[in-house]
């Protein structure tokens, strides 16, 4: 079996490990990090660059995962390879989106049936990308699956380094909550979908415990036995426009569908277990 990942980044590396263990061949495109892709067990191809080779892999692929995000208002994979994917007719097609498509719900719950009302440019672009892939799938009978990811963390992407360095910040905005997902759980959900495809399926990928961001930082400091970073009021905190934009939306994301349809038991059901596992695996990281 052959998997092609268009945009083989952080999350795709965890899926590659699972697929390789089951005998899959995996190819992943990258802009400039072929050694990183190869280290996960995937064959790297440069994109932009190796377009003829990528087209060949598309034609051969049993499964294709689009992990590259929108750029300048358009989806690069859809722009470059839509016709190739339509001709190839893979058995499984996946698109990694974001829970940002739901917009702000003032801390309320959302699920896959919630209307898409994005409030940021990134969210608007993701909605457009989802619609583009859905239109391609509908016109060509492609088995598209959309995965809306919450905030991603995992090895090398935890808060410990900043807490140790004294650069972590506990930004407090009353009522603010985020949902999260460990990279290992992203990988197991994708693998479960590949094994039990349901064309047209849309899934939220998040853990069981949406929480205020300052609680996560505080828990990381406690695990390290270090003082809590001082609390900062969101209204007066100095932040970049990008950092501040992440606080524009507050919602709790339901993961019921991945449990009921794909039989998922989360490896890391909340940030406490996820952070504890990160610290145990790499105590000095």
Domains of the chain: 2-154+180-207+254-267 (3.40.50.720)
Residues of the chain with pLDDT under 70: 285
pLDDT, residue 283, reads: 80
CA distance 254 to 204: 7
**Left, alpha or beta for 224 (phi > 0: left; psi -120 to 50: alpha)?**
alpha
pLDDT, residue 73, reads: 85
pLDDT, residue 133, reads: 98
CA distance 188 to 57: 24
Q: Which residues contact 52 (CB under 8 A, 6 or more apart)?
A: none
Stated pTM of the model: 0.96
């Amino acid at each position: 079996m052959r998997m092609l990942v268009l945009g083989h980044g952080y999350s795709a590396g965890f899926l590659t490990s699972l697929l390789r263990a089951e005998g899959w061949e995996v190819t992943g495109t990258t802009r400039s990090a072929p050694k990183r892709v190869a280290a996960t067990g995937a064959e790297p191809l440069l994109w932009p660059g190796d377009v003829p080779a990528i087209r060949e892999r598309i034609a051969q692929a049993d499964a294709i995962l689009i992990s590259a995000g929108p750029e300048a208002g358009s989806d690069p994979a859809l722009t470059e390879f839509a016709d190739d994917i339509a001709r190839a007719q893979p058995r499984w097609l996946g698109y990694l989106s974001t829970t940002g498509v739901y917009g702000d719900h003032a801390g309320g719950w959302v699920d896959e049936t919630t209307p898409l009302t994005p409030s940021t440019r990134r969210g608007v672009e993701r909605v457009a990308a989802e619609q583009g892939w859905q239109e391609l799938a509908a016109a060509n009978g492609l088995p598209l699956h959309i995965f809306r990811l919450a905030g991603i963390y995992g090895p090398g992407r935890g808060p410990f380094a900043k807490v140790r360095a004294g650069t972590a910040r506990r930004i407090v905005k009353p009522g603010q909550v985020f949902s999260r997902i460990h990279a290992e759980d992203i990988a197991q959900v994708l693998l479960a979908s590949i094994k039990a495809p349901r064309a047209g399926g849309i899934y939220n990928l998040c853990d069981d415990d949406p929480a205020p961001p300052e609680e996560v930082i505080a828990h990381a400091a406690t695990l390290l036995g270090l003082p809590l970073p001082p609390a900062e009021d969101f209204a007066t905190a100095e932040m970049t426009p990008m950092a501040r934009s992440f606080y524009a939306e507050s919602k709790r994301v339901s993961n019921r569908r991945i449990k009921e349809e794909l039989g998922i038991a989360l490896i890391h059901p909340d940030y406490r277990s996820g952070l504890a596992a990160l610290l145990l695996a790499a105590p000095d990281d």
